[in-house]
Amino acid sequence: MIGTSHELCTMPLPDHHRDMEDYGKGVARWCPGCGGHSILAAVQRVCKDMQYPPEKTVCVSGIGCSSRFPHYMGTYGFHGLHGRAFPVACGVKFRRPDLNVFVITGDGDCCSIGAGHWVHAIRYNMKMVALLFDNGIYGLTKKQTSPTSPLGTHSNTHPGGSVLPPINPLQTTLGFANVSFVAQTTDWNPAHLYATIRKAADHPGLAFVRIVQRCPVFMRDLYGDIASNPDELIYLSHEKGINVKPGVAKTFKNVLAHDPTNIHKAREYAEITDGIPIGLFYQNIENSRYDDYGAYNMGMSNKVKQNAMEDMLDQYTIRNSIT
């Protein structure tokens, strides 16, 4: 790269420049037309652009179609339990500040069975990128109503149409304590998708990204029209926001200026139902991070530990037991 060998250079050099292939593995087994494919490509590209060492990168997921994601990455992966991606990811990161962590979760995984962990992961605010693949349905288990299914969705559990209003993941996340980064993008706008994940990767805390995702098999109608019509997207624009190339930006007819430091406006815009707002809703880089707390006191030597243990035992030791 600089034209010198490792031995000669006093500056640490990466082993080699990594390209897209370094981040891929196998063939993704999602349905044709599934939004997962483009999200996978975007994450791989971000890893490449960040030059994340694959061995220092961990993708943690729950269970669902979306949660198969780690199997298609050339990094370390953890495909765990339904709803439990966040606790595992937080455990991975807590004492390993050197690892780059991605969390991949579905709308059922995150907003239903794992909702408790969702609240707390946001509050822990450890540095990681959390991608909510929101297709508004349970995909893997074949079309049951999800907490984000629009009211009236016909599914196998609600053949007559779902009866409750959906959870809005943006609005919800923006209500959690210590929230520090909330963005929304779609699987069908690769430039914006990439820019969003790229921005998330830079965020010093938990970056929560809701990706509006198409499920061509079970939810053909949900985003079918929208995806072919860029006018349905509302582009949140701000210098501190998610910025795509001017050429791409020009394609958005609906633009809304939004300062992502303003949480009140963020909450207001999260409620927009007339079109899909995409961009950075909120960012705060000052929030406390639980991984700072977790990384405390690492790397203590065995000798120090041993002495500390002996001191502790002293407190329980019976002195001059026979006088």
**Which residues in 187-271 belong to E strands, given as ranges?**
206-212, 233-237, 254-257
Question: Are 141 and 148 in contact, with CB atoms under 8 Å apart?
Answer: no
Q: In this structure, what are the phi and psi dihedrals at residue 175, rounded to the nearest 5 degrees?
A: -95, -10
Nearest-approach distance from CB 57 to ligand TPP, in angstroms: 21
Euclidean distance between CA atoms 283 and 260, whole angstroms: 6
- Restricting to residues 268-307, name those near another protein by CB under 8 A: 293-294, 296-300, 302-306
Which stretch in 93-101, 103-111, 116-124, 194-202 sits in contact with ligand TPP by CB under 6 A?
A: 103-111
Nearest-approach distance from CB 296 to another protein, in angstroms: 6
Euclidean distance between CA atoms 287 and 218, whole angstroms: 39
Euclidean distance between CA atoms 294 and 84, whole angstroms: 20
Q: What six digits make up the tokens of 116?
A: 């408790």
CB atoms within 10 A of CB 284: 17
Question: Are 139 and 94 in contact, with CB atoms under 8 Å apart?
Answer: no
The answer to whether residue 80 forms part of the interface with ligand TPP (CB under 6 A) is: no
Nearest-approach distance from CB 167 to ligand TPP, in angstroms: 12
Residues 50-89 vs another protein: string with x where CB under 8 A? ---xxxx-xxx--x------xx-xxxxxxxxx--x-xxxx
Q: What six digits make up the tokens of 187?
A: 């699987």
Choose which of 9, 21, 116, 142 interacts with another protein (CB under 8 A): 116
Give the residues across from 315 on adjacent strands.
none
Give the residues across from 133 on adjacent strands.
106, 211
C-alpha distances (whole Å) from 181 to each of 70, 123, 225 are 23, 11, 29
Pick 57 or 144: Cβ nearer Mg ion: 144
Which stretch in 195-203, 216-224, 231-239, 309-317 sits in contact with another protein by CB under 8 A?
A: 309-317
Residue 141: name its binding partner from another protein, ligand TPP, Mg ion, none (Cβ under 5 to 8 Å by kind): ligand TPP
Evaluated on CA atoms 91, 97, 98, 104, the torsion sign reads positive
Pick 138 or 194: Cβ nearer ligand TPP: 138
Which stretch in 124-132, 136-144, 218-226, 277-285 sits in contact with Mg ion by CB under 5 A?
A: 136-144
Pick 58 or 215: Cβ nearer another protein: 58
Residues that bind Mg ion (CB under 5 A): 106-107, 135, 139
Residues that bind another protein (CB under 8 A): 25-26, 53-56, 58-60, 63, 70-71, 73-81, 84, 86-96, 98-99, 116-117, 119-120, 293-294, 296-300, 302-306, 308-313, 316-323
